[in-house]
């Protein structure tokens, strides 16, 4: 039974250890719990009680909690943790802009890179726009500090210009981009370069091998299966 | 709730404003604006003009000092509340337009202030007439060109009937007809006893349309007087220190030894007092 | 040289033409000012003269646009971008939205042209120097004031070192110092052989900057000639174009029976 837990727990341990080296262990734990908890609760509830099993541990109403069910829930939980902590660590330690630009350097299409980067900037730009709009509407007597009803009535004058001005600007925006030769086919020499090292290259290589080995082990049935 | 007669309708005392721990946008401003005055605020970008006027309707709050609107401290009064006294017309019309028709857009402001029925209709109609948009009442705002959308934004503030009207760069992007119309509107407002405060980069527009000029530099007021005083030769070094130039009429008048002639009219008037043969 | 010949343009989806029979020649090193009331077709003319109409926005163009002897019909927008750039007055739309700093923002154009990194950096520094933006290089382009954003937008175009530059109200958001700065930068560019077309309301700026003025009304060119001649033309007022202070005051003085030469003297004397 322990076999089903070992692998994922080792991964979680490695990830959290790496995170503390990077100084982000606290953030990572909070983030993964935040991401995993909602799913975990529903998975646990469902599997503890509905998994076919023979050893009943306790009963609530018509539902039997079996050891098989608890085991399944536990193993699923650690797998979820392994996934969320790994992805979380990647997200926390990677600057999204550098990441996209490095992908472009490695042959990602510049168009795709542009869309990705523009999406990253989209929210701050909208927030900026919205605050200017809010100021103008408040100056026209829109009450944003009053009752709930007043605030609901204020949604259209606040959200309306955000959407409208974004839409009307799209054409001029794309024209301005074309003037600056966006969409020119071929590669471009980027100003940026994400720093790399032999060690990082070696680690990436080792991880890739580990991935391949894991897949092989899974297919050939060497790995413990879920109960 | 209203200022006593003779009391200024807007006043700041030692006003300091610091943005998020950075620069002091306003470094101790003492300003009194009398009821019915036409005041122009000029200065370089970054001198604090926009920061200053946003205190008049509470969009910004003082870091230090006081702002008094119509005799009462603005602190603790909501923006929506202050906007009944001070109407502020923003520079970018596209950051506020949301209604499907010009009429509905103009009605937004006064409706927020509680106007209804015939009173509301009259306010809207009056504002549309003043800005030359009366025949476009049913038009979609985005079918108007940029300069008329700017006039629309102005109309939406005029319709609110506020005792104080603040205009942030009302003439940028306007052609000659547009500038004329803005000039006319300022004149009409003053004739009705309303107070006008405008931020502008156009020195000629300022000299011809306003009776008081305040020059700002680095968050402080460095010159305060009539256009004749602000553009007099004695003030030129101060203006130069903030990269402003007096209108050409003033330069010609100074050259001819006619005293301070900030506007075309003043220049011609003073020249007329001397015979052409002199 | 930029040559528009017999250009008439209709926007896609519209039935009426907005520009009629436009003939425009922009010689190397020339600065031409474009004036006219709002909604007269100034912005459309800027689009057509840059080739973006119809290359990018579609619509139908009758007549021809020739850049340095080469017709532009059928050229892609990025091929056009190597020769001619056009800037609009709204700094928000000029911003790419993907640059983290002002330096990167200005560098985007040359980078997109596929230039080597060293060249991109060189052109970026040059553009920054022309508009004295050194203090802003590390700033977030999203957090600039309107005037700063407008200057960054212009610099972003200059960094591409185009042979032809078209600007639609480049000083709209600028204070007098900023306006002078842009004027000086454009003058320097013209001296280096760049040809410029500037649409502006600030006729005082154009008066000191341009060799020729074109006035447009209702999609047609109604005046085209040397700056002094056009700005002294009384027909400008009917067009709703404000004559520059020099011309306005000279005429007012002359009408009043006074000697208008004081105007020139006052301008030449400058402010102490």
For A109-155, the pLDDT digits (tens) are 888 888 888 888 888 888 888 889 999 999 999 988 778 887 888 88
Can you give the pTM of this predicted structure? 0.87
Say if A191 falls within a structural domain: no
Shared-domain flag, residues A88 and A107:
no
What Cα–Cα distance (Å) separates residue B12 from each residue in A23, B162, C118?
49, 19, 53
With 50 as the cut, is the pLDDT of residue B278 above it? no
- Mutation choice for B interface testing from A129, A136, A164 by most B CBs within 10 A: A136
DSSP code at position C242? P
What Cα–Cα distance (Å) separates residue A215 from each residue in A104, A222, B272?
29, 10, 98
Q: Do B173 and C172 touch (CB under 8 A)?
A: yes
With 70 as the cut, is the pLDDT of residue A81 above it? yes
What Cα–Cα distance (Å) separates residue A133 from each residue in A127, A136, A143, B77, B129?
10, 5, 13, 21, 26
* Residue A168: per-residue pLDDT: 83
B10-18/B64-69 β-pairing: antiparallel
Query: What whole-number distance in Å separates Cα of residue A83 and Cα of residue A135?
Result: 43
Partners of residue B96 in chain A, C-beta under 8 Å: 133, 136-137, 140, 161
Shared-domain flag, residues A125 and A80:
no
Task: List domains and CATH numbers for chain C.
Answer: 2-235 (3.40.50.300), 242-272 (no CATH)
Partners of residue C263 in chain B, C-beta under 8 Å: 248, 252
Q: Do A181 and C104 touch (CB under 8 A)?
A: no
Residue pointed to by tokens 């946008």:
B25
Shared-domain flag, residues A124 and A86:
no
pLDDT category at B180 given cuts 50, 70, 90 is very high
DSSP code at position C135? G
Shared-domain flag, residues A74 and A121:
no
Q: How many domains are there within chain A?
A: 2
Q: Do C50 and A179 touch (CB under 8 A)?
A: yes
Environment class of residue C224 by beta-carbon count within 10 Å: exposed (0-12), middle (13-18) or buried (19+)?
A: middle
Helix axes A3-22, A25-50, angle to 10 degrees: 160
C50 phi and psi, to 5 degrees? -95, -5
Determine contact: C27 vs chain A, CB below 8 A. no
Say if A184 falls within a structural domain: no
Determine contact: C57 vs chain A, CB below 8 A. yes
Domain boundary among A93, A128, A153: A93
User: For residue B114, is it left (φ>0), alpha (ψ between -120 and 50) or beta?
Assistant: left
Say if A89 falls within a structural domain: yes
Q: Give the angle B173-B177-B181 at the CA atoms, nearest 5°.
A: 95
pLDDT in tens, A24-74: 888 888 988 888 888 888 888 888 877 777 777 778 777 778 888 888 888
**Token pair of B200, please?**
């502008």
Interface size between A and B, measured as CB pairs under 8 A: 75
Buried/exposed A14-51: b ≥16 CB within 10 Å, e otherwise: ebbebbeeeebbeebbebbeebbeeebeebbeebbbeb
Shared-domain flag, residues A87 and A119:
no
Say if A74 falls within a structural domain: yes
Which structural domain, as residue segments, surrounds residue A24? Answer: 3-93
* Residue B117: per-residue pLDDT: 94
**Token pair of B177, please?**
């007809």
In A, residues 181-210, which contact C (CB 8 Å cutoff)? 181-191
Shared-domain flag, residues A74 and A123:
no
C112: nearest CB among A97, A122, A182: A182
With 70 as the cut, is the pLDDT of residue B1 above it? no
> At B261, is the secondary structure helix, strand, or coil?
coil
* Residue A225: per-residue pLDDT: 63
Helix (H) and strand (E) counts for chain B? 11, 10
B220 Cβ neighbours under 8 A, 6+ residues apart: B26, B27, B28, B29, B48
B252: nearest CB among C148, C169, C249: C249
With 90 as the cut, is the pLDDT of residue C10 above it? yes
Greatest mean pLDDT among A22-31, A90-99, B4-13, B107-116 lies in B107-116
Q: Which of C164, C101, C111 is nearest to C135 (CA)?
A: C101
Contacts 24+ apart (CB under 8 A), C69-75: C69/C1, C75/C51
Domain boundary among A36, A68, A93: A93
Environment class of residue A208 by beta-carbon count within 10 Å: exposed (0-12), middle (13-18) or buried (19+)?
A: exposed
What length is written for chain C?
A: 272
* Residue A2: per-residue pLDDT: 60
Buried/exposed B94-117: b ≥16 CB within 10 Å, e otherwise: bbbbbbeebbebbbbbbbbbebee
Say if A84 falls within a structural domain: yes
Shared-domain flag, residues A106 and A50:
no
Shared-domain flag, residues A45 and A124:
no
Determine contact: B193 vs chain C, CB below 8 A. no
Name all chains with 3 or more CB-CB pairs below 8 Å to chain B. A, C
Residue C143 CB neighbour total at 10 angstroms: 11
Shared-domain flag, residues A10 and A83:
yes
pLDDT category at A99 given cuts 50, 70, 90 is confident
Q: Which of C153, C131, C129 is nearest to C141 (CA)?
A: C153
pLDDT in tens, C197-251: 999 999 999 999 999 999 999 999 999 999 999 999 988 988 889 999 999 999 8
Partners of residue B271 in chain C, C-beta under 8 Å: 253, 256, 258
Beta strands in chain B, from DSSP E residues, in sequence order: 10-18, 24-33, 38-43, 64-69, 72-73, 86-89, 164-168, 195-199, 212-217, 220-225
C109 Cβ neighbours under 8 A, 6+ residues apart: A180, A181, C81, C85, C156, C157, C159, C160
* Residue C272: per-residue pLDDT: 43
Say if A27 falls within a structural domain: yes
pLDDT in tens, C87-98: 998 888 999 988
B195-199/B164-168 β-pairing: parallel
pLDDT in tens, A154-181: 888 888 888 888 888 888 898 999 999 9
Shared-domain flag, residues A79 and A15:
yes
Shared-domain flag, residues A56 and A88:
yes
pLDDT category at A192 given cuts 50, 70, 90 is confident
C193 Cβ neighbours under 8 A, 6+ residues apart: C28, C29, C163
Partners of residue C56 in chain A, C-beta under 8 Å: 174-175, 178
Q: Are the C-beta atoms of C180 and C208 separated by less than 8 Å?
A: no
Say if A15 falls within a structural domain: yes
Q: Which of B251, B257, B231, B259 is nearest to C272 (CA)?
A: B251
Shared-domain flag, residues A44 and A105:
no
Say if A130 falls within a structural domain: yes
User: Nearest CA of chain B to the CA of A118: how many Å?
Assistant: 21
Q: Are the C-beta atoms of B260 and B233 separated by less than 8 Å?
A: yes
**Token pair of A151, please?**
């605030």
Beta strands in B72-111, from DSSP E residues, in sequence order: 72-73, 86-89
Q: Do B79 and A138 touch (CB under 8 A)?
A: yes
* Residue A227: per-residue pLDDT: 55
Strand partners, C164: C84, C195
* Residue B274: per-residue pLDDT: 63
| Radius of gyration, CA atoms only, chain B | 19
Query: What whole-number distance in Å separates Cα of residue C61 and Cα of residue C40?
Result: 18
B86-89/C84-87 β-pairing: unpaired
With 90 as the cut, is the pLDDT of residue B238 above it? yes
Q: Which of B83, B69, B87 is nearest to B15 (CA)?
A: B69
Q: Which of A6, A158, A181 is nearest to A110 (CA)?
A: A181
């Amino acid at each position: 039974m322990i076999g089903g837990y070992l692998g994922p727990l080792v991964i979680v341990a490695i990830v959290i250890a790496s995170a503390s080296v990077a100084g982000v262990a606290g953030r990572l734990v909070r983030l993964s719990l935040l991401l995993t908890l909602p799913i975990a609760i529903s998975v646990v509830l469902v599997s503890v009680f509905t998994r076919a099993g023979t050893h009943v541990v306790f009963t609530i109403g018509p539902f039997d909690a079996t050891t098989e069910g608890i085991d399944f829930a536990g193993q699923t939980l650690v797998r979820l943790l392994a996934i969320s902590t790994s992805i979380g660590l990647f997200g926390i330690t990677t600057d999204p802009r550098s990441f996209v630009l490095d992908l472009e350097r490695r042959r990602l299409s510049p168009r795709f890179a542009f869309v990705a980067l523009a999406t990253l900037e989209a929210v701050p730009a909208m927030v900026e726009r919205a605050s200017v709009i809010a100021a103008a509407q408040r100056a026209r007597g829109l009450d944003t500090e009053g009752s709930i009803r007043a605030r609901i009535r204020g949604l259209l004058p606040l959200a309306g210009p955000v959407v409208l001005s974004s839409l009307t600007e799209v054409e001029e925006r794309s024209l301005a981009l074309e003037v600056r030769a966006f969409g020119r086919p071929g590669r471009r020499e980027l100003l940026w370069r994400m720093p790399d090292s032999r060690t990082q290259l070696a680690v990436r290589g080792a991880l890739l091998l580990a991935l391949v080995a894991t897949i092989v082990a899974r297919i050939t049935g060497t790995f413990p299966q879920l109960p | 709730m209203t200022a006593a007669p003779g009391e200024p309708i807007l006043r700041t005392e030692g006003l300091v404003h610091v943005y998020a721990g950075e620069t002091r946008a306003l470094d101790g401003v003492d300003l009194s604006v009398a009821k019915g005055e036409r005041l122009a605020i000029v200065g370089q970008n970054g001198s604090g003009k926009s920061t200053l006027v946003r205190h008049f309707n509470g969009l910004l709050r003082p870091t230090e000092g006081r702002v008094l609107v119509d005799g009462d401290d603005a602190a603790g009064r909501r923006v929506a509340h202050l906007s009944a006294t001070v109407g502020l017309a923003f520079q970018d019309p596209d950051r506020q337009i949301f209604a499907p028709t010009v009429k509905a857009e103009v009605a937004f402001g006064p409706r927020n202030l509680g106007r209804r029925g015939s009173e509301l209709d009259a306010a809207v109609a009056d504002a549309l007439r003043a800005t030359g948009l009366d025949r476009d009442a049913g038009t979609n705002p985005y079918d108007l060109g940029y300069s008329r959308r700017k006039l629309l934004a102005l109309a939406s503030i005029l319709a609110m009937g506020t005792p104080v009207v603040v205009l942030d760069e009302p003439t940028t992007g306007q052609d000659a007809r547009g500038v004329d119309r803005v000039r006319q509107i300022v004149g009409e407002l003053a004739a009705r006893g309303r107070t006008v405060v405008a931020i502008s980069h156009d020195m000629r527009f300022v000299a011809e349309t306003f009776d008081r000029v305040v020059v700002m530099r680095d968050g402080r007021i460095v010159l305060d007087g009539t256009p004749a005083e602000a553009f007099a030769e004695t003030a030129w070094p101060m203006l130069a220190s903030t990269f402003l130039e007096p209108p050409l009429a003033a330069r010609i008048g100074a050259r001819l030894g006619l005293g301070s002639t900030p506007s075309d009219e003043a220049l011609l008037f003073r020249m007329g007092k001397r015979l052409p043969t002199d | 040289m930029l040559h528009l010949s017999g250009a008439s343009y209709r926007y896609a989806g519209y039935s009426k033409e907005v520009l009629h029979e436009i003939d425009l020649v922009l010689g190397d090193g020339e600065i031409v000012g474009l004036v006219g009331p709002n909604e007269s077709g100034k912005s459309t003319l800027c689009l057509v003269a840059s080739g973006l109409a119809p290359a990018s926005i579609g619509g139908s163009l009758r007549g021809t646009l020739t850049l340095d002897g080469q017709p532009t019909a059928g050229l892609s927008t990025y091929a056009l971008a190597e020769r001619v750039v056009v800037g609009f007055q709204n700094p928000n739309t000029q911003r790419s939205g993907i640059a983290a700093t002002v330096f990167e923002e200005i560098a985007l154009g040359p980078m997109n042209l596929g230039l080597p990194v060293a060249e991109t950096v060189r052109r970026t520094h040059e553009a920054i120097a022309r508009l004295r933006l050194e203090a802003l290089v590390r700033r977030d382009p999203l957090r600039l004031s309107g005037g700063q954003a407008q200057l960054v937008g212009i610099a972003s175009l200059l960094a591409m070192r185009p042979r032809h530059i078209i600007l639609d109200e480049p000083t709209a958001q600028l204070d007098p110092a900023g306006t002078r700065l842009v004027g000086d930068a454009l003058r320097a560019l013209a001296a280096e052989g760049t040809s410029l077309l500037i649409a502006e309301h600030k006729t005082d700026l154009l008066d000191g900057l341009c060799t020729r003025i074109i006035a447009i009304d209702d999609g047609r060119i109604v005046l085209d000639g040397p700056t002094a001649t056009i700005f002294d033309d009384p027909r400008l007022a009917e067009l709703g174009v404000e004559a520059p202070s020099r011309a306005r005051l000279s005429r007012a003085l002359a009408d009043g029976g006074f000697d208008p030469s004081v105007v020139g003297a006052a301008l030449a004397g400058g402010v102490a």
